[in-house]
Structure 1
């Protein structure tokens, strides 16, 4: 498995970094999204036959990381092309691919992803949103609640995770449905967040939402296979989001430590300042290596191996990001809390990578059970 980027990856990284530099912190996210789509960056992981770049999650993670390093991350990259685009490309019908993938690739359409519920959290086995057959039309009727769903107001549709009853066993199994934004019975309520982000968070209600039969994505019996086809890219892209943010904060701290002079020497000359910044850089680089491994495994079709690596990458990147942001703020002292330097807002934002889309504790559970073979306490 290569650990050195190809020339194509280096060129992509350089080009996206230039785009991010042109926009920078405080950029209009819609304008940036539109330009990134026109340049082909939003759909680098989607099939060429449907307007994409024909690459994989490895390429898309580079896009998000570099935009984050420039201070203008696009969180909807995690959701729209990475989760929804990947699931539709792998499991959608030909009609669904034709309808959605070109727009997801060029940025003219967006799709949100709805899995988290008030009482289920990270436990996908406890999802209570149900889908049953409409005996009159042959379609589906969905009922349930979702919470902390990003970007529903700017998305053309939401890929909803529900559960249907297995005709043979009677047990509920996960299924995925495309729910257009203005579907009757599909309502949203914004959640009042202190997080300063372009994408708003919503609580969703599905009350007898009626969908046609072709709203179902993939095979009704595929279950968890289709679900984790989206969740593994989500974890990899969250790692990219965190690494980019950590690099952005570290870059500001390093520049300040070079220029800020106290007692006739730059503060970066003092090891008490320099060593923690060096450690933050090391941690971010190590997290990127695990992210690259996870992306390579996923793009190679090794879903099982990618699951372990994606969780580890998300964990490592989240920890590295929080530490980098904290150290950057401490390096700047009082200036680290001013609007001029833009680091204070990252104190809250960096925590997102620790708690979403799955908490660090649930990742430790996964590794202890799946990787180490230790017994469960639940």
Structure 2
């Protein structure tokens, strides 16, 4: 499934990833998911957007989103693709020191190392300005001390480190400013607790506690005075990749429904011949295609260095893909009827998984707020 925006190189990449992903059984557990991740890393798919100097493919978020979409369409959406290469890899590649790049990027690129991302807090979800995880300097040693809590952090148990968003206090203004720290998994004072989720996914969710976690000065990524610039350098790719994640899941669900609708015969003809079945599936396909176009636009803008334009398009793409994903999964389950809820057809678990594309990393309501204020120029209600 290609579009006019794709070059021959992109089409070839899409075909190669699709063939690779379809030749692997759908991952139902951590071991299978890890094996799939490692194989994808060996082929260069995980690190396609990272710099060639550090073992990556030297491409962009456009190609990385394409890879994730095709993996999802084959039934193997990798949530950590959004986190490790897209957010953490991008931030380190853009703002990290040479030592940080040498230490982390080659492993992230070839799939041998994983990095989680910690931003959300119990009292700071959509409003990242309310983050209270605090980073302060030890005047005697120059070390950083981090204290705070994070929640709904994916894959911490399998990650070698977590990129933590903290805040420093500016002594001149008293304002708290966001900054980013690499926290290795076994750092003293860095504790995790797995959350009990109804969501069926190979990647687990965690609550993190940081109790005076001591980090060397070089754990800081970028400039402590950069403010939101560094943070949003990772959040735009996160939205683009979440859109690709949703489109892939929606395509997988739709393909299963189409196979069933072509074969299932209740009276004289396959059920797919009836407009009550055919038209909703056609609408699902249209919505997925439209959301893909916006996702490609957002990725192209980001790769071209247009952070402002990419921010607007990334939010729209994530909104459109989240809605399209939920509708496609719902219609697929409905098409199969009772069979849509059986383990055999593998659609029931997607009912909750599809919600990820709608509510994370930012809810559809907050995206509508963004478009209302930033694009349409309407006043804020908050």
In the alignment, is the contact (CA less than 8 A) between 2:5 and 2:296 conserved in 1? no
Q: 1:225 aligns with which of 226, 229, 246?
A: 229
What TM-score do you get using the length of structure 1 for normalisation? 0.99
Residue of structure 2 equivalent to 1:150: 154
Q: How does 1:75-224 map onto structure 2 within 5 Å? A: 75-224=79-228
Q: 1:277 aligns with which of 256, 277, 281?
A: 281
Q: 2:40 aligns with which of 26, 32, 36?
A: 36
In the alignment, is the contact (CA less than 8 A) between 1:131 and 1:140 conserved in 2? yes
Bigger mean CA deviation after superposition, 81-90 or 368-377: 368-377
In the alignment, is the contact (CA less than 8 A) between 1:3 and 1:292 conserved in 2? no
C-alpha distance in 2, partners of 1:349/1:216?
A: 33
Instruction: Give the root-mean-square deviation of aligned CA atoms.
Output: 0.9
What SS is found at the alignment partner of 2:69?
helix
Residue of structure 1 equivalent to 2:61: 57
**Offset of 1:304 from its aligned partner?**
0.6
**Offset of 1:3 from its aligned partner?**
4.5
What TM-score do you get using the length of structure 2 for normalisation? 0.98
Residue deviations 1:160-190, cap 9 Å, x none? 0000012331210000000000000000000
Q: How does 1:247-326 map onto structure 2 within 5 Å? A: 247-326=251-330
Residue deviations 1:225-259, cap 9 Å, x none? 00000000000000000000000000000010000
What SS is found at the alignment partner of 2:23?
helix
Does residue 243 (structure 1) correspond to residue 247 (structure 2)? The answer is yes
What SS is found at the alignment partner of 2:126?
coil
**Offset of 1:25 from its aligned partner?**
1.9
Residue deviations 1:337-363, cap 9 Å, x none? 111101111111101111111111111
Large movers: runs of 4+ above 3 Å: none
In the alignment, is the contact (CA less than 8 A) between 2:178 and 2:231 conserved in 1? yes
What SS is found at the alignment partner of 1:23?
coil
In the alignment, is the contact (CA less than 8 A) between 1:329 and 1:336 conserved in 2? yes
C-alpha distance in 2, partners of 1:81/1:152?
A: 15
How many residues are matched? 377
Q: Structure 1 unaligned segments of length 5 or more: list them.
A: none
What SS is found at the alignment partner of 2:236?
helix
Q: 1:374 aligns with which of 375, 378, 381?
A: 378
Q: Structure 2 unaligned segments of length 5 or more: list them.
A: none
